Amino acid sequence: MHSLTSDVGQKTSDFIMLKHYLTIALRNFRKHKTYSFINLFGLAIGIACCLLILTYIHDEWTYDRFHPNAETIFRVVSLTREKSGEVRPSSQTQPPLGPALQQDIPEVKTVVRFWRWANVVRYEDKLTTERVHFADPALLTVFSFPFIEGDPARALADPNSVVITQQTAARYFGDDDPLGKRLSIRLGETDHDFIVSGVVQDMPENSSLKFNFLISFDKVAMVRGQQYATNWGNFAITTFVQLQDKAQAVAVNAKFPQFVKKYLGEEIKNFWGGNEQAIQFQLQAFTDIHLNPQIGGGALERVSDPKNSYILAGIAFFVLLIACINFMNLAIARSSSRLKEIGVRQVTGAQRSQLLRQFWGEAFLMSTLALLLGLVLAELFMPFFSELAGKKLALNYHAGWTTLAGLLSLTWLTGLIAGSYPALMLSRLKPVEVLHGKLKVGGSGILTKSLVVIQFALSVFLIISMMIKKTSALF
């Protein structure tokens, strides 16, 4: 019973002490409004900039990973050797390649051919030019495009069917049910009627594979002739394969030379002088497509250079580091103004441990408030940043919890370091020396000068880097 009463008493005492520290911290914030605003807002801006950049990087590096089968999907890349010996990779392959791979290579589970064609689409009196895509029906089961209406297994079973996206359905049909509606699409010189057989959710922004209108690839052969589907000399379409296991990609690549010899032997003999190395194939992981600028996207969305992400990550780090240094400099600079407060508290019986908790508590409180304000600023500037980046971005608090946890840890680390000088240095001073004004601390020390030099050096480095980037872009 005595132990229980003691525990309750201790917790009550701790709560009162915590409330006391918070009251002192808030009083100091109100007393030094300018200092508090500059320190809080400066760190918040650094956190906001870091969040915006990390959101962009996260979007870039998670391209196409929302597909459950993404790890087992590969794109077939054609490798053409020039006379100079240079090998040119391309995402363009031949129409008969897919069926031949399905037939000859057991590791290949499913094949999907994908092709894009600019076409005129008409519905009633509405006439527009759209990008229409053609694909094997398996595309809707290999890739994950959730259906709002229709059956993915049968949506493209009929060559005269068309699958559209949710946004496309709204543009053409408004609130009407799109299923069964008739669209006229011009293929070549002739208009063809298609029945809407399915509506899929709009694709995520970080998707390499997008479409508004999707028609069965069989329709291409019907319009262009059967010779189109069997022409090994026509490098025009994108070919995907789904393997039984992603580790089988090595085995498939090893089989390509024999495969090429079988199906392209005559082509190599007639057009490449019999050089068997003139044309080869290779599998490229689907999740690697977006960040591989050496291979064009073909029918897919625009690719990106991973160097941009590395550069932006460095900028985010330096911006946040400059903000943290500024936070620490201001904390150190204000330390000398609190000497009398420290002396009075020591005379009235305050222990060093209590002073340590107070100073660190104030620093943690300030850094946590800066993090919250940084999140608000990031949300406010996100539309402008999205327009600048050329893509729709948003802070995903669920998917990006690791980023937020990292920022919280970094922010608290900043508070720990920023509060270390007043906490460790000022709390050990003797009350008599403090009250008689014999001490002077603050912004004249080696630590402060070093931090200022580092801060300005990083700022100059970022400015020069941006000027070099701008100049190189002009030429």
| Residue 193 pLDDT > 80 | yes
- Render pLDDT for 71-110 as a digit per residue (tens, 0 to 9): 999 999 999 887 777 888 999 999 999 999 999 999 999 9
- Render pLDDT for 377-430 as a digit per residue (tens, 0 to 9): 999 999 999 998 888 888 876 655 666 677 778 777 777 776 676 666 666 655
- Compute CA 424 distance to the chain's CA centroid, rounded to the nearest angstrom: 41
Pairing of strands 190-200, 161-165: parallel
Of the candidates 102, 136, 428, 418, the residue with the CA atom closest to the CA atom of residue 243: 102
pTM, entire model: 0.81
Q: Which amino acid, one-letter code, is at 301?
A: E
- Render pLDDT for 148-169 as a digit per residue (tens, 0 to 9): 999 999 999 999 999 999 999 9
- Render pLDDT for 274-300 as a digit per residue (tens, 0 to 9): 677 788 999 999 999 999 998 876 778
413-447 burial, b if ≥16 CB within 10 A, otherwise e? ebbebbbbbbbeebbebeeeebbeeeeebbbeeee
Of the candidates 251, 259, 249, the residue with the CA atom closest to the CA atom of residue 94: 259
Q: Which amino acid, one-letter code, is at 422?
A: P
- Residue that is written with structure tokens 């590969």 in the block: 74
Rounded mean pLDDT of the chain?
A: 81
| Residue 475 pLDDT > 70 | no
| Residue 199 pLDDT > 50 | yes
Least confident of 54-63, 136-145, 341-350: 341-350
pLDDT-derived band at 22, boundaries 50, 70, 90: low
Phi/psi of residue 231, nearest 5 degrees: -85, 110
Angle between helices 97-104 and 249-271 (to 10 degrees): 130
**Residue predicted with more confidence, 437 or 474:** 437
- The confidence score (pLDDT) of residue 198 equals 95
Of the candidates 360, 441, 418, the residue with the CA atom closest to the CA atom of residue 42: 418
- The confidence score (pLDDT) of residue 472 equals 47
- Residue that is written with structure tokens 């004249």 in the block: 444
Hey, which of 16-25, 180-189, 327-336, 433-442 has the most confident mean pLDDT? 180-189
**Residue predicted with more confidence, 330 or 398:** 330
Q: How many residues appear in the chain?
A: 475
- The confidence score (pLDDT) of residue 447 equals 60
- Residue that is written with structure tokens 């262009």 in the block: 224
